[in-house]
Amino acid sequence: MKRILLAIVALAVIAAGAWFFLLRSSGIPVYAVTVAATHPHDPTAFTEGLFFHDGALYEGTGEIGSSYVRKVDPASGKVLQQVELPAPYFGEGIIAFGDKLYQVTWQDKTGFTYNLKDFSLGDTFSYTGEGWGMTQNGKNIILSDGTPVLRFLDPKTMQPVSTLKVTANGCPVEKLNELEWVDGEIWANIWQTNLIARIDPASGHVNSFLDISALGPRNRDVDDVPNGIAYDSATKRIFVAGKRWPQLYEIKQGAAMNNNEEATKLTRCAG
């Protein structure tokens, strides 16, 4: 009897250990990336917004006095069109919807619209909190603000119609930055990490991470973080950029990675 009891206790300890291990490991896959192509990128551009439209890349930059929106030829990096955002504004995310281009600002609670074709200034709009990244899903403009909550905005009024809390293994994911709608998922740079989160827009759950630490200049300023994802749905090309990076990359998902430190940190909110 004593032996049976001991065996039961031992089994219970093993089961508890296994359960604890399962709780502790996120189970969220992390993938490296491979580089399909590199393109020139203006090494002074403090990238805050990036999207692809009709064969061209559109980039929005930040910092007061050097914020602008520009249209760029992806192959050469040549600037085809540009509009400045004057001081005191600090430019952040940009996105196209219909025939308009939208731009938010970091802490000014003011957004701008432009004619997508000629970059002439249109209406301004207001919002609460900060403005970080933007993308769109064909129906709503999606806005990040540095918190784990994404806002879905009506493009006509720029007022929120719903929100989505983003979690990874149950942990809220802070500092969601530049965004991209990629084949039914929301992809997001996570500020000051090398990770791109792939988010299920229905549940807000992160289904995987891409680690882009292999990209960008080796010795870079602390502010020159990865930021900027643009998807060309026609050719399925994914472009990624970073602040003041001299190159822009076309990437593909690479091999699964084990023990990714940044992902582990994000998925262990409980301890």
Distance CA 95, CA 180 (A): 9
User: Smaller CB distance to Ca ion: residue 169 or 242?
Assistant: 242
Residues 46-85, one symbol each (x = binds Ca ion by CB under 5 A, - = not), give: ----xx----------------------------------
H or E segment to which residue 21 belongs: helix 2-24
Do residues 187 and 197 touch, judged by C-beta distance below 8 A?
A: yes
CB of 51 to Ca ion, least distance (A): 5
User: Smaller CB distance to Ca ion: residue 60 or 204?
Assistant: 60
Q: Running DSSP on this structure, what letter comes out for residue 127?
A: -
CB of 23 to Ca ion, least distance (A): 34
How many residues make contact with Ca ion (CB under 5 A)?
Answer: 4
User: Smaller CB distance to Ca ion: residue 59 or 267?
Assistant: 59
Distance CA 67, CA 64 (A): 6
User: Smaller CB distance to Ca ion: residue 26 or 135?
Assistant: 135
Using the rule CB under 5 A, which residue among 180, 211, 232, 250 binds Ca ion?
180
User: Smaller CB distance to Ca ion: residue 30 or 196?
Assistant: 196
Q: Give the type of residue at 260.
A: N
Do residues 175 and 212 touch, judged by C-beta distance below 8 A?
A: no
Region of 14-22, 24-32, 178-186, 204-212 interacting with Ca ion (CB under 5 A) = 178-186
Nearest to 136 by CA among 52, 74, 244: 52
Residue-by-residue DSSP string for 131-155 = ---EEE-SS-EEE--SSSEEEEE-T
Dig out the tokens for 266 from the structure: 């994000």
User: Smaller CB distance to Ca ion: residue 93 or 204?
Assistant: 93
194-253 residues near Ca ion, rule: CB under 5 A: 229
Q: Give the type of residue at 257.
A: M
Which position's Cβ is nearest Ca ion? 180
Distance CA 99, CA 111 (A): 16
Dig out the tokens for 214 from the structure: 């292999």
CB of 224 to Ca ion, least distance (A): 18
CB of 79 to Ca ion, least distance (A): 18
143 binds Ca ion per the rule CB under 5 A: no
Q: Give the type of residue at 183.
A: D
User: Smaller CB distance to Ca ion: residue 26 or 177?
Assistant: 177
CB of 49 to Ca ion, least distance (A): 6
Burial class (CB in 10 A: 0-12, 13-18, 19+), 245: buried
CB of 187 to Ca ion, least distance (A): 8
Residues 5-44, one symbol each (x = binds Ca ion by CB under 5 A, - = not), give: ----------------------------------------
CB of 180 to Ca ion, least distance (A): 4
Distance CA 72, CA 215 (A): 21
Do residues 152 and 164 touch, judged by C-beta distance below 8 A?
A: yes
Provide the binding-site residues for Ca ion, judged by CB under 5 A. Answer: 50-51, 180, 229
